[in-house]
Structure 1
């Protein structure tokens, strides 16, 4: 039998299923289902495009936002809830202390009962839903809070007008504080501002005989607005920090790549194509797909071969630094790279770590929205002397915009020194750094 005959069976081993199967799992990861006699169609065999948003951009953020109480946010939510409970206890104790036996504040008591019942119900439902607060539940709770504020203001000011102070209405701010980790910070901020405006308007139009009674009203407004606003700012800063750390961990995986290589997304797509090709070959070897191939199967095989050839020839001029910048959600919009010779790929692992950390720290240490950084590598400088004939020297020009030298963290300078000797200057209020790199000559490897 001719070993190169197309109709000859292909010898396979159960364990030799390739990189794709070992990386991506079993048959559930295939782009098409296993063959079944007379039931395979062209649509079943078309390769499934790899979802690029899984590893970058909005995809990674949406994964984090879908689990708001992961990565330490659960402890932050518990702290916010305890803080809100303390504020609520203080306001409830104030109602009890100011209780006038001659007149029972029925509306305020009713407002407190409704608020406490709502807080307990919302937290129970949120726990059953996996520590999430759906939009419909959030809107319902806001509607109940409107009723609570109306009843409390009517009971304390509208009916008697004798100088009673609201307690349940400011406690709505404590309720918002307890759910600040379950919703977007913008939702909590708008709700807190609306609450403050309503109580402020009621305070402004309140009839008072003594101006000194304005002090407790101001305290009520502060208790209603300040805690949820401060909590929202803390949660927003925490989420931003976690997102940046996740992005940094993802970007640091490019440091170990060879000089010229495809990026993380292309590597995952290549593994998927490898799995699809091996699945098709296994179907032919096991006799599930007859030879010669049907037109639909042949078209699928041709598509796989074309995509695999494209992966073999593309991206061979893109270094690890290019992928680190372009595939980073944080560095992509603010960093620009000019490296036509691919010199970044010659850097040693410590130099790569230092350069990436330098870029990250320079962009992370400033809060200005207009901050940016530009890197230019090369050209290669001549080397002289017997000790330098195995080295390649080139410069890295690092130019920033909106980054002042006095605001640079000392750890940044340590990272720059790991790349090579440098000279820094301050031009037009921004930092400029020229780094001289010396790396091993790849021709001597």
Structure 2
């Protein structure tokens, strides 16, 4: 009867081969081919894991995308084009020579259809080269249309394809930058205005219908641009609120939203480096370049972790917010905001958002002061929270703001002109020695 040696009883035995053919060390850890394949598969499948708050914000941004808005604007632009085409057909018998007007509409329709096909093929994106082609085609169509109606104001004939150019610019407001659309609209306005001014006329009152034509040409792209700007701002505001609101569940002292991304990147780099060392890719002693990289990663990780022990969730929520950062000033030297429970945090953040969103003044400011703590030997710990607003009149504060402030604690408010001061007595459960 043969007996197998116990690797734990023989410290000089560094490894053994099991009955399954898998090599194991004295601690029973698999180090053979199977483990190497497992590590390689794990390394290949490893990917950058973004924090949950970023994923949540991305989903909100996808849900609030401009796809549906673009479809609505496109339908409205198509209706305006058809209206101008019907006007052209009604003027057809009045043209002294309709060939120029026909050519203008042929170029316009061909350019618009070609652009629509390119946009569809490119995943609803309008390349720069195609945008240049579109502008060239629209400019040529506008020139031919103005030539077709030149000197025909007495006949009651006005530009039709030229007015439809504004609708074409309206249709692409979601595909190009707002600045480009406004520049093209300005060029259209100048061209039509110069045509009106330079054309000779016997009756000055004949200028009135042409002013209406000018307004019909430039109003659609300007209106669509204004709507799109407001929509994009709303989307940015909602995404920013999602990111900021996610801080209510963070620890007392933690890294910020942007630092979480950087910390995840450093953690991934450190894992890859350790895997390379464990797999024998980097022999001991480590090469100077690898050792320097490891030291740099360790230093950056240490700095991020230390920094996370000095700033509260409220500091990160305000400073890393695109909308709160420029208008909210925070004074919390003792990091008392970290002692609040999630309901109090949610109430304080909601109150700040409501105070800012309900204000109409452009110079709105909020100063937020926490502390100093009130000396207390009991279980609850109390400290004052003062919200001082500028440019936010008392009568414009929404009632839901006061409901949010009630979650933080008992409060007293006072107002003077366009400023509101809210003194809150916040009570928290003493869970640490802070």
Q: Residue 12 of structure 1 contacts residue 285 of structure 1 at CA under 8 Å; is this kept in 2?
A: no
Q: Residue 69 of structure 1 contacts residue 131 of structure 1 at CA under 8 Å; is this kept in 2?
A: no
1:75 to 64, 68, 82: 68
Q: Residue 152 of structure 1 contacts residue 169 of structure 1 at CA under 8 Å; is this kept in 2?
A: yes
- Aligned positions of 1:269-280 closer than 5 A: 269-280=262-273
Q: Residue 192 of structure 1 contacts residue 225 of structure 1 at CA under 8 Å; is this kept in 2?
A: yes
1:416 aligns with 2:400: no
- Structure 1 residues 184, 69: closer, same or farther in 2, change over 3 A? farther
The secondary structure found in structure 1 opposite 2:93 is coil
Once the two structures are TM-superposed, the CA of residue 211 in structure 1 deviates from its matched residue by 4.7
- Structure 1 residues 9, 341: closer, same or farther in 2, change over 3 A? farther
Question: Paired residue for 2:384?
Answer: 395
Once the two structures are TM-superposed, the CA of residue 27 in structure 1 deviates from its matched residue by 4.9
The secondary structure found in structure 2 opposite 1:437 is strand
Once the two structures are TM-superposed, the CA of residue 98 in structure 1 deviates from its matched residue by 2.4
Once the two structures are TM-superposed, the CA of residue 113 in structure 1 deviates from its matched residue by 1.1
- Aligned positions of 1:174-323 closer than 5 A: 174-323=167-316
Cα distance in 1 between the residues matched to 2:325 and 2:209: 50
Question: Paired residue for 2:343?
Answer: 350
TM-score normalized by the length of structure 2: 0.83
- Aligned positions of 1:119-130 closer than 5 A: 119-130=112-123
Q: Residue 393 of structure 2 contacts residue 420 of structure 2 at CA under 8 Å; is this kept in 1?
A: yes
Cα distance in 2 between the residues matched to 1:101 and 1:158: 13
Q: Residue 362 of structure 1 contacts residue 403 of structure 1 at CA under 8 Å; is this kept in 2?
A: yes
- Aligned positions of 1:106-117 closer than 5 A: 106-117=99-110
1:26 to 45, 62, 77: 45
Question: Paired residue for 1:374?
Answer: 367
Q: Which of 1 and 2 has greater Rg?
A: 2
Deviations 1:383-434 (A, max 9, x none): 59xxxx2111111111122222222222222212221222222234222221
TM-score normalized by the length of structure 1: 0.81
The secondary structure found in structure 1 opposite 2:251 is coil
**Residues 267-276 or 229-238, more deviating:** 267-276
Structure 1: which 5+ residue stretches go unaligned? 31-49
Deviations 1:156-179 (A, max 9, x none): 124786442111111111111111
2:136 to 143, 159, 174: 143
Once the two structures are TM-superposed, the CA of residue 126 in structure 1 deviates from its matched residue by 1.5
How much is the aligned-residue C-alpha RMSD, in angstroms?
3.4
Deviations 1:75-128 (A, max 9, x none): 111111111111111111112122226734221121111111111111211222
Cα distance in 2 between the residues matched to 1:265 and 1:295: 31
Once the two structures are TM-superposed, the CA of residue 144 in structure 1 deviates from its matched residue by 2.1
Cα distance in 2 between the residues matched to 1:70 and 1:132: 19
- Structure 1 residues 70, 129: closer, same or farther in 2, change over 3 A? farther
- Structure 1 residues 350, 82: closer, same or farther in 2, change over 3 A? same
Q: Residue 94 of structure 2 contacts residue 157 of structure 2 at CA under 8 Å; is this kept in 1?
A: no
Q: How many residues align?
A: 404
- Structure 1 residues 315, 237: closer, same or farther in 2, change over 3 A? same
Cα distance in 2 between the residues matched to 1:260 and 1:383: 22
